[in-house]
Chain A
């Protein structure tokens, strides 16, 4: 199922939640909508679901205009942030809900529904828990139930709102892989909302970065991380040191720090340097090392420049002993944006 969002606008009162958003989602894609809170990502997801309706613009499913069609008519599977499981129904009843609600000849026979529930429980590795109530499950298990309930109606698109937001770190990691596996097994077009850039970069085929109701950039995780299209994307996706300074004749300078900035117009600008793009370099500028600590396979170094700017450097463990006292460093790569 391809989905097209065409210059969609949505206001809540006078506050614009979506501002002329255009987005094309390919069949079978796993797309992340990434942004800070209030960026409009959830509103966009709910607009695709048919739980919210745009003031302007169009939503097309497979070329067909569904802008004002209900969620049920769009055949979407939606996983809510707090899962929204029906508390008074068993897990099996929850999963079967979308099939039980059908009428007449659309409604599959009982045995078929039971079979489908069993298959889905197997898919999310919850066999044997069908007769439990949601309150008797852990957070991760509830999430899996919510996922299989959404999949039960064989949706044309699967939508997830902050699917891992309420889970602790280890469960989060394993469920991310789980979602990827379920996506690959079913091939259903999937869109999920997150404010966690690591989650978006790890899980998605493509990432759409939203800010203040606009899409700032859409691309593969590599593109978004390595070639950020705007200062916002650069600052939001991945770690970055930011410097306020000035560009003059293709060079950015902020105190002792100078960086190449070809193509950036003269005037005030902001430069971003990723911690791993700083390295020891005798031709660089001097910094004073303040703290060195281990971060998995890497070493994180906090340092201060001669004119008092704090920077964070990420280096290999082997290089760690060389960061002591006063050292000279330089940026291998920088992203400079006119302010």
Chain B
């Protein structure tokens, strides 16, 4: 009798053992195949000829220039998108204005457009044969096949990250805290810095991390506008491709490993943030 009752009172998550093993096992196997194995392969290839060879490849002036350019690009694109994302999400979530839904669609554009197309757009506008080409040439301004183009393309591709992270968060928080602040005599700016911004600080940090990861790893759009000039307009992903195409496998994988390391650091930071602030992903932020 008691056995019958126990069977009836099975909890919804008490699936048979074989089903659990099968489901979890297949997920693990899949992850190992498509994520972990390649990652291991990258490091294995990088160190195939010993640590010395790998370090030498990374220490090569062209490789160092690529690392430097990647860091410079991220250092410009990420703050730009953080500020833009904060402004855009503040405008969208806390205010009503004409054209708001159009702006939301526009913010999503870089996610829906292929990065190669993004790169081509800039070539079309700023390239030598482009709309502004002649004027730029006359004024001795180089955008395409130069650092400004790479930065522009990176900004374009990474600009939804912060805004997308903050808009739902701000919308959920509503406007009553801002109204409370204003009704007590706070100015708009004071309210933004003391009330709005602190409420989204963890979400902002999270968005910045994601944005940074993509900014350092972007290939397609940057590849179109870069021109692949060694030591000048090669970012790390582009440098990896060049080395690989020249059969310099140790060098290619050594730089790739460095890129992976940057990504891993970002992910570790992101996970640490989630552990420290469980509310971030729940869309609450703050305390």
- Measured CB to CB, the residues of A under 8 A from B are 49-51, 70-72, 76, 78, 80-82, 84-88, 97-98, 101-102, 133-135, 149, 153
- Complex: A90 Cα to B105 Cα, angstroms: 38
B287 pairs with A98, CB closer than 8 A: no
B195 adjacent to chain A (CB < 8 Å): yes
**Cβ-based interface call for B199 (8 A):** yes
Which residues on A sit within 8 Å (CB–CB) of B184? Answer: 72, 97-98, 101, 149, 153
Contacts of A70 in B (CB 8 A): 182
Bound-state Cα–Cα, A101 to B195, Å: 12
**Contact call A88/B199, Cβ cutoff below 8 A:** yes
A72 cross-chain contacts in B, Cβ below 8 A: 182-186
Inter-chain contacts of A134 with B (CB < 8 A): 287
B172-197 vs A: 1/0 string, CB under 8 Å?
A: 00101101111111100010001100
Interface: B50 (CB within 8 A):
no
Q: Report the nearest A residue to B176, measured CB to CB.
A: A84
B38 at interface by CB-CB < 8 Å: no
Contacts A78-B179, A86-B194, A86-B198 supplied; 13 other A-B pairs, CB < 8 Å: A51-B179, A71-B179, A71-B182, A72-B184, A80-B176, A84-B176, A86-B180, A88-B199, A97-B184, A97-B186, A101-B181, A101-B186, A153-B185
Interface size class of B (residues with CB under 8 A): 10 to 19
Given known contacts A80-B176, A87-B287, A49 and B183 CB-to-CB distance under 8 angstroms: yes
Contact B198 A50 (CB under 8 A): no
Pull 18 A–B residue pairs with CB atoms less than 8 Å apart, ordered by A.
A51-B183, A71-B182, A71-B183, A72-B186, A76-B183, A78-B180, A80-B176, A84-B176, A84-B177, A85-B177, A86-B181, A87-B287, A88-B198, A88-B287, A97-B181, A98-B184, A134-B287, A153-B185
Q: Inside 8 A of B195's CB, which chain A residues have their CB? A: 86
Point out the residues of chain B lying under 8 angstroms from A86, CB to CB: 177, 180-181, 194-195, 198
Q: Nearest-CB distance from A321 to chain B (Å)?
A: 45
Flag if B199 contacts A87 (CB, 8 Å): yes
A49 / chain B contacts, CB cutoff of 8 Å: 183
Smallest Cβ distance from A48 to chain B, in angstroms? 12
- Say whether B286 faces chain A, with CB atoms less than 8 Å apart: yes
> Which chain A residues lie closer than 8 Å to B180 at the CB level?
78, 80, 84, 86, 149
Q: For the complex, what is the distance from the CA of A84 to the CA of B173, rounded to whole Å? A: 9
Contact of A82 among B176, B185, B199, B286 (CB under 8 A): B176
Most buried by A among B174, B179, B180, B181: B180
